[in-house]
Amino acid sequence: MHASIIADPSGEVIEDTFNTNATARKALDRLDRQNAIPDRPKRNKKALRGKPDHKAKKYRRKEKRRAALAARQERQMNVRSSKTQAGFGVPLS
């Protein structure tokens, strides 16, 4: 066993004894990488787990168009039925 100890610049021990030089070097590399990569700020956006809370925009648009078409068809049917009831005969197409 090698008596390798890794300490930070202030003298605080970070890693203690290692079995081989290779493990000591790996630990040094790992510490260098950790110090080189800045910490990411925590994101406020929620992670999607399972079903999303709202429907996709494209689907909402399609629903809106379908509802408008149904309303338009309903109004047209009412107009045509009122014309036939009023005695105008066969409705115009």
In the prediction, which pLDDT does 65 show? Answer: 96
Structural domain includes residue 46: no
Structural domain includes residue 91: no
Structural domain includes residue 26: yes
In the prediction, which pLDDT does 54 show? Answer: 75
Does 14 score more than 70 pLDDT?
A: no
Q: What total number of domains does the chain contain?
A: 2
Q: In terms of residues, how long is the chain?
A: 93
**Cα 81 from Cα 75, distance rounded (Å):** 10
Domain encompassing residue 23: 6-36
In the prediction, which pLDDT does 68 show? Answer: 96
List helix spans (H) across the chain.
21-36, 57-85
For the stretch 31-89, pLDDT in tens is 777 776 777 777 777 776 777 677 889 999 999 999 999 999 999 999 888 887 766 65
Structural domain includes residue 41: no
In the prediction, which pLDDT does 67 show? Answer: 96
Structural domain includes residue 16: yes
Structural domain includes residue 22: yes
In the prediction, which pLDDT does 88 show? Answer: 61
Average pLDDT (10-20) is: 71
Structural domain includes residue 1: no
Structural domain includes residue 42: no
* First vs last C-alpha separation in the chain: 96
**Cα 82 from Cα 80, distance rounded (Å):** 5
Look up the pTM and report it: 0.35
In the prediction, which pLDDT does 92 show? Answer: 56
In the prediction, which pLDDT does 75 show? Answer: 93
